[in-house]
Structures are given as C-alpha cells and as structure tokens.
Amino acid sequence: MVAVLEIEGLRKTYRSRRHGVRQALDGFDMLVEAGQVHGFLGPNGSGKTTTLRTLLGLIRPNGGRMRILGHEVPAGLPAVAGQIGAIVESPQFFPFFSAGDTLSLLADAGGVPRTRVTEVLELVGLRDRAGERVKTYSLGMKQRLAVASALLKNPKLLILDEPANGLDPGGIREMRSLMSDLSRSGMTVVLSSHILGEVQQICDSVTIISRGRRVAAGPVAEVLAQHSATEIRVRLEAVTDLPLAADLLTRAGAQVTTYRDHLMVGGIDKPAKVTRVLAESDFFVSELAPLTVDLESVFLELTATAPVPGQNRQVDQSVEVGTSGASGAGTPSKGAWGYEPRQGGVPSVVQAAADPADAGSDGARARRHRGLVHSRQPTHRPGAACRRRGQGPTAVRGTVALPPGGGGRLRGGAGAG
Ligand SMILES: Nc1ncnc2c1ncn2[C@@H]1O[C@H](COP(=O)(O)OP(=O)(O)OP(=O)(O)O)[C@@H](O)[C@H]1O
C-alpha cells in the first residue's frame, strides 16, 4: 500500500471577535492510497473544505500531521505542488477570457506545453466552445473548465471539491468515466461530493467526516457492510398472519417490526431460519428479501443528519458521535496514519487557538501558496496575472507529462455547437 495522502489528528480552530471559537477539525484522520478514487463525504459545515484548504497550505492548522506524496505539509508543499491539481470551492475565472485563453494563461504560468491545453479541453468536452468568453458559459461548463485547469499539470493527486456541481446527467456520467480513466492511468483522485449515489459508483474508498472528526473510512464495500444492519423483509401469503408470524420469530430470538403488509426481521444470522420457523407453524413465505443498504443511508446514520418529520435541522445539528465510533468506526486497522482507531480518543473540549497566526495569517498563507489551487475570487487583473509568472489566482505550477492512455471525454458543454 502506497499512501498518497495521510492526515493524522488534524485540528483547526477558527476564532472571531463576533462569534468566538469554532472547532472545525477536531483530531481528524484520513488516508488515501495511490491510484484510488477516494470520496470525502460529510454534511455541510463538517470540515471538508477546511481540511482541503489546510492540506493545500491555504490555512494553518492548530495541530496534527499531514503528508502528501510522502512529504510533510505544509513545509514540503513546494516540493509536491507541481504534482497536485486541485479545485477547492467554486473556482472563479476571468469572465472576459475564453476557456482557451484561460488555460493557455495557466499553462504558460505553470510551464506546461500549450498542446496540453487542447488535450484537456477535449477531455472535458469544451473543445467546440473553447473560443467563447467564460461569462457566457453555463454553470456546468464553468465546472468543466475548472476540472480542465486542475488536469493541466497531469497531476499525481487530483483534489476536486464537488466536481459534478452543475453538470447535467450526461455530464455526471462522463465525469464518472473520466475519474475512472484517470485513476486507471495512475492518478489518485480525492473527491468531495454530496451526491452519494455517484460516490458509491465512482469511489474505491471513502472517508466520512462529521463535526470535524472521522466517523468512517475504508473501501466503500467495507463501510457499507460494517454499517448495514442485516435486516430481512418478509411477506406472507396472508397478511392476516403477520402478527402471529411476528410472535413466532420474536420467540425464536429475532427483532421484528410489523408493518401493514410485511415484517422487518433483524438479529437472524441466516435467512433460512426465518423460513424454517414459519414453515414449522404452517406460515408460508411469499417474499424473503435481505435489505441492501446504500451509502446515503450509512451516511445519514453515521452523521445523524437524516431528516426528521416536522423538524428543520440546523447546519451544525447532529447527534454527537461517540469517541469510540468517531475514530474510524468499524474500519480495518492499517497503522498510525491509517484507519486504526486513535488511542485516547479525541479532545472533547473546544480549545482556544494558541496560534496567533490563525486568522490573520491565513490570508498571507493563501497568497504564498497561490498557484496551487484556485482562489475563490480573482484578486488580480488579467494583465497582472500575465505579467507575474505563476502568481495569478488560477495559476498552475510544475511540469507536465502526458497521461498514459489519456482519459475519458466529457460530452460537449451545454448548448455545444
Ligand atoms: N473563515 C472561517 N471563519 C470561521 N469559521 C469558519 C471559517 N471557515 C469555515 N468555518 C466554519 O468551520 C466549519 C467547517 O466548515 P467547512 O467549510 O470546512 O465545511 P464543509 O464540510 O466544507 O461544508 P460544505 O459541505 O457546506 O461545503 C463550519 O462550521 C464553518 O462555519
């Protein structure tokens, strides 16, 4: 196992005069193995963007360790910046530039050959609209441009925050195939997304964060298996027999919930036991269906964010996850950086940041590391970005090698042609 991204015990506290102290990351752990498409999931405000921004040196953590491609970060960022492509939050582009101009500017700033611009435009399906101004693009087309810019350097690690945002269904499917092609070519992709059905299809592994702590991690199938209650839906030939059947199964040791036309049976190791118990009393089963749990259900359970009828859940509201489950609940032991539960739990008390550089210097750090990721808002005029090599808000650093085997192609942008 080669780890591309390792985070251990990451803590980040925001402080403001008006709102006081807010602990965004509370001993967060994450491990991403090489060549994987890794889903980074969590409810709104759980700490995903804070994690990504901290990793990329845009804000300073209050504690913990991070490594990217074997280098401690933020100290080692200059050594690995050229191998990371990232989109964090909604990237902003100069509205009067075309996609072609934007990518050419970035390519020049990062020392990437212009031929790569044509390649990435083709990959994301913007080839035919590349000459048009970004301000005329739809949301999905801007998203495609963002992905293209992150791919320019042909990075080893691609970090995408909500890449499917604004894409039409066809575009989402093409994005999925692009991700798997990139991963097959050896690229590691970290994908933050709220579209869990998509994540379940695309990702090899996931990390789920809630309230600044990891609540689950590992291969998707394992996370699903470990958090799925093995329940069986049972229907009988006659619905009038359901109460008696429920009684029999309960006496056989099962946990049974009776519904209008079926029973839900848990706590039974083998479905055959259900049929045997019922058949012995001449009740005949017309359906026996083990329930398959999906990632969305597991996510809602682990983050305690399932909607409750009649309640308007507020963003920070969820059931506090216990420390035993908070550090890689039910996940395999893979060493200190890995999925192994942290010893001693996590701090339960919100600590005021001792780091005086916390709020004030975050902006300075963002400026220092500009060029690694897309900033939220353009801070330079286009001309200024051109003049100052590598300093533009969407600048890309590093050299580029052509992707072995290339990737999938995203369909032409909305209204193409
Ligand atoms: N600059 C800041 N100052 C103060 N609090 C902040 C700041 N940035 C983020 N936070 C807080 O930190 C917590 C985590 O925010 P973060 O943006 O990391 O969440 P997220 O998981 O990315 O959410 P979303 O899914 O909505 O994008 C939130 O409570 C947020 O309000």
What is the distance in A from the centroid of ligand 1 to the CA of 47? 6
Beta bridge partners of 190: 38, 159
Q: How far apart are the C-alpha atoms of 341 and 320, rounded to whole Å?
A: 17
| Ligand 1 atom nearest 14 alpha carbon | 4
Tens-digit pLDDT profile for residues 287-311: 998 776 778 877 887 887 776 666 6
Phi and psi at 57, nearest 5°, equal 80, 15
Considering only CA atoms, which residue is closest to atom 25 of ligand 1? 44
Considering only CA atoms, which residue is closest to atom 6 of ligand 1? 14
| Cβ neighbours for 335, distance < 8 A, ≥ 6 positions apart | none
Q: How far apart are the C-alpha atoms of 168 and 203, rounded to whole Å?
A: 20
Considering only CA atoms, which residue is closest to atom 12 of ligand 1? 24
Asked if 58 and 366 touch (Cβ cutoff 8 Å), the reply is yes
Ligand 1 pocket, residue 42 CB under 6 Å: yes
Indicate the domain borders of the chain.
Answer: 3-226+297-387, 229-290
Predicted ipTM beyond 0.90: yes
| Ligand 1 atom nearest 52 alpha carbon | 18
- Residue-wise burial string across 77-95, b where 16 or more C-beta atoms lie within 10 A, e elsewhere: beebbbbbbbbbbbbbbbe
Q: Which two tokens stand for residue 150?
A: 């992150």
Q: Looking at the domain 229-290, which fold is it?
A: Alpha-Beta Plaits (3.30.70)
Q: How far apart are the C-alpha atoms of 250 and 77, rounded to whole Å?
A: 59
**Residue (of 167, 161, 205, 198) closest to 183 by Cα position:** 205
CATH number belonging to domain 3-226+297-387 = 3.40.50.300
Ligand 1 pocket, residue 14 CB under 6 Å: yes
Ligand 1 pocket, residue 84 CB under 6 Å: no
Q: How far apart are the C-alpha atoms of 395 and 409, rounded to whole Å?
A: 24
Tens-digit pLDDT profile for residues 316-334: 665 443 333 333 333 332 2
The model's pTM is 0.68
SS3 call for 229: coil
Which pLDDT band holds residue 107 (cuts at 50, 70, 90)? very high
SS3 call for 302: helix
Ligand 1 pocket, residue 22 CB under 6 Å: yes
Q: How far apart are the C-alpha atoms of 280 and 257, rounded to whole Å?
A: 21
Q: Of the given ranges (71-85, 237-251, 376-390, 393-407), which has the lowest mean pLDDT?
A: 393-407
Beta carbons within 10 angstroms of residue 255's beta carbon: 13
pLDDT of residue 128: 92
Asked if 277 and 270 touch (Cβ cutoff 8 Å), the reply is no
